Amino acid sequence: MYHRDMTDQKSPNFLTCPGVPELESSEAFALLPKEAPASVKSPRKKSRRKLWRLFFVAFLSFGFLFLVLLSPLIYGGVMAAQGALAAKNALTEVQTHLQAKEFSQALSSVDEVQDGFDKIHAGLTATGPWRSMPWIGTRLHALEDTEQAGSSAILGAKELIEIAVSIQDAVATEGIIDIGTQVAPSRSFKDLSKEEKRSILSRLSSSLPKMREARERFAIAANAWENIPKDELFAPVRNAIEPVINRLPELRDQIDASVSLVEILLPLSGYPDQKTYLVLLQNADELRPGGGFIGTVGEVVVDAADFEKIDFKDVYSIDGPVADSWSEQPPEIMQRDLGTRAWFLRDANWSPDFTQSAARVMDFYEREVKQGTGRDVHLDAVIGLQPKFFTDLLKITGPLVVDGKTFTADNFYDELQYDVEIGFLSAGIPVPQRKEVVAKIGDALLEKLTTQPASNWPTIATTVTDALKKKDMMIYSRDADLQTVLDARDWSSRAKATPDDYLMVVDANLAALKTDGVMNKDIMYTVDAQDPNNVTAKVVLHYANTNTKIDWRYTRYRSYTRVYVPEGSELISSSGAMRKDLNESGGKFIPGTVDVMKDLGKTVFGAFWAIEPGKTGELSFTYRLPSEVGRKIAEENTYQLLVQKQPGSKARLTLDLAFGKKLQNATPGEDPSQFNDESYRISNWPLLEGDQLFTTRL
């Protein structure tokens, strides 16, 4: 047996390789194979990778959270845009159906429009918390306001279409009714039977509450739309909604005028009760305070839109029978400058407030007719008409042929004036019958108007409303409710309350024939408010008599002119007043006096003056305005001037108002060349358009 001698060997170290001698520590790594050194990660790199991992996770989390938060805005915005597009398309269908007289289908499409607006509302509501965000929230609220304005307008339109359907049902014949005119374009007023007229009026009367409600809806919608910041609307929704509501202000004004017209036409048409009116044909070429000399009057009886009586007469046929017994005391001016003994119907419109003149006209007419003929008559209203109203109607109807003579819009007044002043003599017509041609022209015009196709009725209605605005037509009624509507629309030419400052120039032609027709009249009004404690004003009337000779129609201009100013104004000086015209004074100018009086809640300066043919003249008044005007300028930085038109006047107005402080804005606006100073200037403003309020902010 083999035995190894272990005496000289050391015991194995099991912590090292067995059976291998231990190496000295210094040699341990020297015997290992030489390999590439192992890669060792830097602590900085590990930290950077961990940071990127955290950032990526955070980005995904925030992105997800943002999408979650954004989803209501996306969802709601898409829904609102879809609703707006649907409303726009449905509105197009409404217009198509209305043009085709398909009112039931139009109502269905209106419901679809409303559904679209409801969807817009739901979409905007679905945006949730985004409505409270600073920037987007403002735009969302603007869209909500727009949606509410559109919804209000659609509800108003629906009510109007329902009214049209109701009126259509009142007439048995299919296709008679039209939403705008109530009668098919091919039919005329004369075509309608008495029963049809009464049925239509009945439905209009019962529909008035709904019409008023529709008017209010449109007014609310238009006012809301005007206050919405358009640049803050979401473009897709804005573009879809704008066609629906862009015309709201225009529609509001049209519906407002239409409702007022129905409120007035119903009672004026003799519904539900018969009415008797006195129609005054006032000649503005012989201007009187209330609109012109009353040359012809007509008694008109209306029952449910049927004319039961139309009787026009020369005013002298009313005044004449009571000439010796009538004892009504005339105004002092008439006695002094016209030499009149009594105050008759023909001169009864002495007040520039038509309601006052008309009330006196009614009284005089009823009493003169009773006294002169023994006939009792009770008038319900007075309607004053100027020649321009008739020329505007002739532009619609075309020429009239009466007694072989053709009257057009261009020659109507000149031809009529000649016939009643001169032509009747050569025709051998007695003086009392010289104005019978007026009645014949009236009959011919009425025949033309009542046979106009319904497609022309809106044009006629517009002509009437324009005439009422411009005071070419004025109405006064004893019916308090009707008069309230007339006053609200400024259709009765009533003198208005003074805002801050006020001006109305009133001429009264005194035996000057028809000379107002050839007068160029300029009113220049200046105010010096640079010292608010002493605000002064000056009115200069510059008139030119363009007729160069005296003939049957024109002569020297003679007028007693009154200037109405704020109550409490103090006259400082005046120039141009005359005691007599130059013919009466032998060619010598004799200064006259200025009358200072109170009327219609105003201070009034009045004076007589005259202008020879081919000459010009000036009449001026300088006065101190009430302290309240200066106080508002100094403390409130505001100034308002109301200028009222005398009925029948064609004067032009020029303003030059100095405030001593820079203007911020003014309405109506100045010419741009006048901007950025301390004065407000308006040149040649046409008062023939009606009353005008001038406002400034300092």
| Contact predicate 292/285, CB 8 Å | yes
Task: Kindly indicate the confidence band of residue 260, based on its pLDDT and cuts at 50, 70 and 90.
Answer: confident
Q: With respect to residue 537, please indicate whether it lies within any of the assigned structural domains.
A: yes
| Contact predicate 610/558, CB 8 Å | yes
For residue 163, pLDDT beyond 90: no
Q: Are residues 247 and 383 in the same domain?
A: no
Q: With respect to residue 677, please indicate whether it lies within any of the assigned structural domains.
A: yes
Q: With respect to residue 583, please indicate whether it lies within any of the assigned structural domains.
A: yes
| Contact predicate 666/694, CB 8 Å | yes
- Rounded to two decimals, the pTM is 0.76
Query: What pLDDT does residue 195 have?
Result: 84
Token pair 């005398």: residue = 646
Q: Are residues 179 and 286 in the same domain?
A: no
Angstrom distance (rounded) from CA 178 to CA 184:
6
Query: What pLDDT does residue 673 have?
Result: 75
DSSP at 142: H
Looking at 235, 268, 301, the residue that finishes a domain is 268
Q: With respect to residue 49, please indicate whether it lies within any of the assigned structural domains.
A: no
**CATH number of the domain that residue 679 is part of:** 2.60.40
**CATH number of the domain that residue 478 is part of:** 3.40.630
Q: With respect to residue 30, please indicate whether it lies within any of the assigned structural domains.
A: no
For residue 421, list its beta bridge partners.
none
Q: Are residues 357 and 426 in the same domain?
A: yes
Phi (first) and psi of residue 104, to 5 degrees = -65, -45
Q: With respect to residue 46, please indicate whether it lies within any of the assigned structural domains.
A: no
CB-count burial class (<10 Å; 0-12, 13-18, 19+) for 421: middle
CA nearest 507: which of 489, 492, 521? 521
Boundaries of domain holding 339: 275-488
Looking at 488, 515, 546, the residue that finishes a domain is 488
Least confident of 46-50, 115-119, 167-171, 295-299: 167-171
Looking at 245, 268, 291, the residue that finishes a domain is 268
Q: With respect to residue 33, please indicate whether it lies within any of the assigned structural domains.
A: no
| Contact predicate 371/325, CB 8 Å | yes
Average pLDDT over residues 91-96: 72
Q: 85 or 426: whose pLDDT is higher?
A: 426
Query: What pLDDT does residue 270 have?
Result: 92
Q: 554 or 12: whose pLDDT is higher?
A: 554
Q: Are residues 253 and 352 in the same domain?
A: no
Q: With respect to residue 535, please indicate whether it lies within any of the assigned structural domains.
A: yes
Q: Are residues 179 and 237 in the same domain?
A: yes
For residue 69, pLDDT beyond 70: no
Q: Are residues 231 and 138 in the same domain?
A: yes
| Residue 238: both structure tokens together | 């804005």
Phi (first) and psi of residue 331, to 5 degrees = -60, 155
| Contact predicate 636/578, CB 8 Å | no
Q: Are residues 577 and 616 in the same domain?
A: yes
> Tens digits of per-residue pLDDT, 395-444?
999 999 999 999 999 999 899 999 999 988 888 889 888 998 998 999 99
| Contact predicate 607/660, CB 8 Å | no
Angstrom distance (rounded) from CA 694 to CA 674:
16
Angstrom distance (rounded) from CA 442 to CA 438:
6
Least confident of 157-166, 474-483, 503-512: 157-166
Q: Are residues 263 and 312 in the same domain?
A: no
> Tens digits of per-residue pLDDT, 516-570?
999 999 999 999 999 999 999 999 999 999 999 999 999 999 999 999 999 999 9
Q: Are residues 237 and 326 in the same domain?
A: no
The count of structural domains within the chain is 3
Average pLDDT over residues 576-604: 96
For residue 629, pLDDT beyond 50: yes
Q: Are residues 287 and 433 in the same domain?
A: yes
Q: Are residues 544 and 600 in the same domain?
A: yes
Q: Are residues 557 and 423 in the same domain?
A: no
Task: Kindly indicate the confidence band of residue 167, based on its pLDDT and cuts at 50, 70 and 90.
Answer: low
